[in-house]
Amino acid sequence: RLHRGDEVIEEDVYLGDIPIMTGGGEFIINGAQRVVVNQLHRSPGVDFTVEQEGDRKFHGCRIIPERGSWIEMRVTKKDVLAVRIDQTGKFPVTTLLRAMSPQYSTDADILRTFYPTEKIKVTPQTADKLVGRLVVGDVIDPKTGEIFVESGTELTPKHVDQIVLSTLEQIEVLGAIQDNLILNTLREDKTKTHEEALLRIYQ
């Protein structure tokens, strides 16, 4: 019955056949006993969470798709951003990023995405500028192919002396760092390429 102002509209609506219910709460449908069960369905989207442990707050989020795997991300006690896919084991979020696209395959690609970088010419005059800076990408000797310094490592005076004596013309380093979260995550990440990251996730 629909009341629209003073007007009342009334009509019969066919909802369907109601199956027979037994004394135990089961329905007889097509000759078989069936039970109605409530199912909780989470609406798709991103939920953000904050968990407090002592004085520290640990931020995280859940990505719930319309169909497919849930993805949970959370900052750990080691200040590393970890991810879980469908309640599986935790692994660094940079592994997931590498697996998503070859353009984030190397450590250098990820560092350039999240931090400002600058290229400094290698001369005896610029040596002081390099000490204490974090390198973007492996620093390789052009003559021997030997790795002087691995990506994300802090340059020591000894490293800088080696670089100045080599034939390297310039070196890329990180600019101002406001948050070490991605750096810490990269240090925990055992994968180094797009293919390794895909294998790690499929394992």
Instruction: Report which of 136, 137, 108, 126 is spatially closest to residue 163, judged by C-alpha positions.
Output: 126
Which segments of the chain does DSSP mark as H helices, in order? 93-100, 107-114, 127-130, 157-165, 181-188, 194-202
Most confident of 25-29, 138-142, 192-196: 192-196
Average pLDDT of 95-119?
A: 92
Which segments of 11-156 does DSSP mark as H helices, in order? 93-100, 107-114, 127-130
pLDDT over 90 (residue 67): no
pLDDT for res 147:
83
pLDDT for res 102:
93
Average per-residue pLDDT for the chain: 88
| Tokens matching residue 145 | 């192919």
pLDDT for res 96:
94
Q: Which residues contact 3 (CB under 8 A, 6 or more apart)?
A: none
pLDDT for res 120:
86
pLDDT for res 45:
92
Indicate the pTM of the whole model: 0.70
- What is the distance, to the nearest Å, from the Cα of residue 109 to the centroid of all Cα atoms in its chain? 15
pLDDT over 90 (residue 71): yes
Cβ atoms of 37 and 27 within 8 Å: the answer is: no
The pLDDT confidence band at residue 196, using thresholds 50, 70 and 90, is very high
pLDDT for res 103:
93
pLDDT for res 132:
86
pLDDT for res 59:
94
